[in-house]
Amino acid sequence: MEPEKLWRSVLGELELVVSPTYYNTFFPSTKINKIEEERIEIHCSNNFSKEILQQKYSKDIKSLIKERTGKNFDITFTTTSNKVAVAEPVVFSGDAPLFSPSNSSTVKEEDLQQARHTSTNYQTLEPQTQGLVPEYNFSNFIIGPNNRLAYTVAKTVAENPGQSYNPYLVHSGVGLGKTHLLHAIGNEIAKNHPEYKIIYCTGQEFLNDLMDALQNTRTNGGTAREFKNRFTSADVWLIDDVQVIAGREATQEEFYFAFNHLYLNKKQIVISSDRHPSEIKKLHERISSRFNMGMVSDIQKPDVDVRTAILRNKRDDLGVEISNETLDYIADNINSNIRELEGAFTQVVTYAKAMNIPADINAAKQALNDALITKEEKNIKPAKVVREVAQFYNLEIREIKGSRRTKQIVVPRQVTMFLLKEINQLPLVQIGALLGNRDHTTIMYGIEKINSELKNDNFKLKKEISIIKETIMDK
């Protein structure tokens, strides 16, 4: 076989297995330099491409060549150029750079680090319903004004997967039922269509697995292909907390690939995120616009009636002895989110049991007073507030404290003033000192500005402030 033809055929196969990022970065300008008796020499355009091919893909290349020639060639790699990293070199801790991105698509070191520490194991889960928890279903999902739309859409999706709302994205703050709803959809579909392959995974798991696959391709040539197939062969794909993939180039690219594949094949896709897709910073526009093509709904915080209903349902489910009055007390006092509400319930029950007293309103008061006090005493530092605001708006802390007056900075700066007042209850003078020695009247003006925006129903700002507050309180 002619070297050129042989290599083209090998590349054709590799393209299917290798992630697009890697393929476009390392493979396009490679060719077979010479074919000898026992050895094939492959030419790479630069050192990095050479290193990557050598370390990660030489086994694949060897076997693909064997498939085509019937011969077990030794494969060697050469390069004439000593070109090193051109832009944004990604350096492995202390070692020589491994990856030289030739375009903006880079695999981040932090992604790889994370992948080394955590890895999911789809293989150990049931083949048809990967990752679904049966306890999260529609029958124990309490419906209220805060989640009615999200629930209705979820139910419709579960009844007609791929035919009604596709994709379906549900978003909310933490602990308000997104994960529960995703599992409920999966469980319902699994019941009606046992033959369907349903995959539930979190954005973080998707990211970790991709990094794993990229890393392991060297030792196990098939992993990248397996990774691709795993998602593209799904009938239903439930992806939780998708916001995690934002800012990760390679991950977003693979996600987009799998998403499009399933979408075009009319497979149901359900996504959750901690905020509206258009508010996810560093999420590719082409991905967020895809999300907006389907149905987007949110879940709000539950009112006291929903909270009470959830607690009663939980009590009946678990068969615990605890009076309605006690449950009302818990529901009245814990209004942050459902996860905390459930936590408080468990706390009261456990406390009563440990103290060997009935789980009545007294026990609840004692158990929860502790919980409520620790929450208040959490003692949030002003520096943390500044940091979280800066991070949310993608700004440097020095920009918040600095003197530039562009709108992109002024609003976050005023939000910082507002939150330092509200959360830390700092005096205006102190806030001024903290934010680049500003006069207290400037601070007063800033806080008033935010207050009036909120009063005038600046919905976007309201939402932003509530997300920032939640991250500050949760961490």
Please report, as residue ranges, which positions from 71 to 130 form the binding site for ligand ADP (by CB under 6 A): none
**Residue 89 neighbours by CB distance under 10 Å:** 15
**Nearest residue to 108 (alpha-carbon basis) of 258, 250, 252, 255:** 250
CB-nearer residue toward Mg ion: 179 or 243: 179
Q: Shortest approach of ligand ADP to residue 364 CB, angstroms?
A: 19
144-to-205, 301, 343 alpha-carbon distances in Å: 31, 10, 20
175 counts as binding ligand ADP under rule CB under 6 A: yes
Q: Shortest approach of ligand ADP to residue 212 CB, angstroms?
A: 24
**Residue 35 neighbours by CB distance under 10 Å:** 17
147 counts as binding ligand ADP under rule CB under 6 A: yes
340 counts as binding ligand ADP under rule CB under 6 A: no
Q: What is the CA radius of gyration of the chain?
A: 27
Please report, as residue ranges, which positions from 300 to 319 form the binding site for ligand ADP (by CB under 6 A): 310
Rounded to an integer, what distance in angstroms lies between the CA atom of residue 12 and that of residue 60? 13
296 counts as binding ligand ADP under rule CB under 6 A: no
Rounded to an integer, what distance in angstroms lies between the CA atom of residue 297 and that of residue 153? 8
**Nearest residue to 22 (alpha-carbon basis) of 100, 82, 85, 77:** 100
411 counts as binding ligand ADP under rule CB under 6 A: no
Q: Tokens in use for 217?
A: 């391709």
CB-nearer residue toward ligand ADP: 45 or 243: 243
| Cis ω for the linkage preceding 89 (within 30 of 0) | no
Q: Which of 41, 109, 342, 422 is the binder for ligand ADP (CB under 6 A)?
A: 342
Q: Decide which of Mg ion, ligand ADP, none touches 176; Cβ closer than 5 to 8 Å per partner kind.
A: ligand ADP
179 counts as binding ligand ADP under rule CB under 6 A: yes
Q: Shortest approach of ligand ADP to residue 230 CB, angstroms?
A: 23
Total residues binding ligand ADP (CB under 6 A): 17
Segment interacting with ligand ADP, rule: CB under 6 A, options 100-108, 190-198, 336-344, 422-430 = 336-344
Residues found near Mg ion in the complex (CB under 5 A):
178-179
Listed in sequence order, the DSSP H helices in 217-357 are 223-232, 249-264, 285-293, 304-318, 324-333, 338-355
Q: Shortest approach of Mg ion to residue 274 CB, angstroms?
A: 9
- List the x/- string, 154-173, binding to ligand ADP by CB under 6 A: ------------------x-
CB-nearer residue toward Mg ion: 179 or 414: 179
Any idea which residue has 């990856």 for tokens?
99
CB hemisphere CA count around 2 (13 angstroms): 3
Positions touching ligand ADP (CB under 6 A) are 136, 140-142, 147, 172, 174-180, 310, 338-339, 342
